[in-house]
Amino acid sequence: MKIVVLDGYGLNPGDLSWKGMEALGELTVYDRTSPSELMERSEGAEALITNKTLITAENMEALPDLKYIGVLATGYNVVDIEAAKARGIVVTNIPAYSTSSVAQMVFAHILNITQRVGHYAEENSKGRWTNNADFCYWDTDLVELDGKKMGIVGFGNIGQATARIAQAFGMEVLLYTSKEQSALPQGMRKVALDELFAESDVISLHCPLTPDTKEMVNAERLKLMKPGAILVNTGRGPLVNEQDLADALNEGRIAAAGLDVLPIEPANADNPLLGAKNCFITPHIAWATKEARTRLMQIAVQNLKSYQEGYIINNVAK
């Protein structure tokens, strides 16, 4: 089997091994593949492995040997699924590999905002504490999480992990979820979406991107939030209207935002959030701990191995 990895660098910049996949066939790994390079590199391949490289219906039609597409992520919108179904091409994804890492990043953002550890460490490296008149100093609000309300939008694997951490910090958990109250863990309360935005001290987004959830965080919802509230998005960038959030931050209508995802990645230079007040942006790395990437690699190999052995797992093109 000829296997081509179109953009392997994001998963494996050099600290993991492709040996598991090499054992399954003739493997070629490219760090990145541009649209103009896609067809030449994919010629004769039975299996294409992609992370962010788009594979369209036209691509599939021009690749008669293609039988399998492995997506190196949970989301699979980079592949035209309907076209794959029509051509009998199997498309697999990688579910639930980064739950703990993403939930950890949620609280990395929250703790950065409430304690500003990086800010004070940098100030001290410049000598500020050494030259301080008192035994301590602070120039930001320092916020205790215990007793605060944590609003979680979406209660899948990551939402559930985030909720457990919130409870460990002593936070009251409010949920916007399709699940019934009776099915929720003890101490977690189901509420309407606008109620969640109005009551929560911290809001974390973990819902899928759909026409209904696109830009669910907009000027109207931001007006519902408390002036001291924090918004965290490690889910999908388009859940948030960027200009509306930038305006709310710059005008001091909410306290801060911690974002790991944006609608366009890498960020455009004119993105209003890059210069917004109290907006802390990380470059889509919540998923990228070595532990999570190791699991991703293992699942990707198992997906392809299972296909070769005649039973298909994690198929999203059924």
The CATH number assigned to the domain with range 2-97+290-308 reads 3.40.50.720
- Give tens-digit pLDDT for 79-100: 999 999 999 999 999 999 999 9
Active site residue 119: no
Active site residue 221: no
Active-site residue (options: 236, 242, 293, 295)? 236
Which helix H or strand E contains 100, and what residues bound it? Answer: helix 99-115
Query: What pTM was estimated for this model as a whole?
Result: 0.94
pLDDT of residue 293: 98
Whether the domain at 2-97+290-308 and the domain at 99-281 fall into the same CATH topology: yes
Active site residue 265: yes
pLDDT of residue 260: 98
pLDDT of residue 163: 98
Spatial separation of the C-alpha atoms in residues 102 and 108, rounded to whole Å? 10
Q: Which residues does residue 315 pair with via DSSP β-bridges, in sequence order?
A: 92
Under-70 pLDDT residues of the chain: none
Q: Where do the domains of the chain lie? A: 2-97+290-308, 99-281
Active-site residue (options: 37, 58, 265, 291)? 265
Vertex 158: Cα angle to 180 and 178 (nearest 5): 20
Reported for 6-10, long-range contacts at CB under 8 A and 24+ positions apart, including other chains, are 6/30, 6/33, 6/38, 6/41, 6/42, 6/48, 6/49, 6/50, 6/51, 6/53, 7/31, 7/32, 7/33, 7/50, 7/51, 7/52, 7/53, 8/49, 8/51, 8/72, 10/51, 10/52, 10/72
Active-site residue (options: 87, 189, 253, 284)? 284
The CATH number assigned to the domain with range 99-281 reads 3.40.50.720
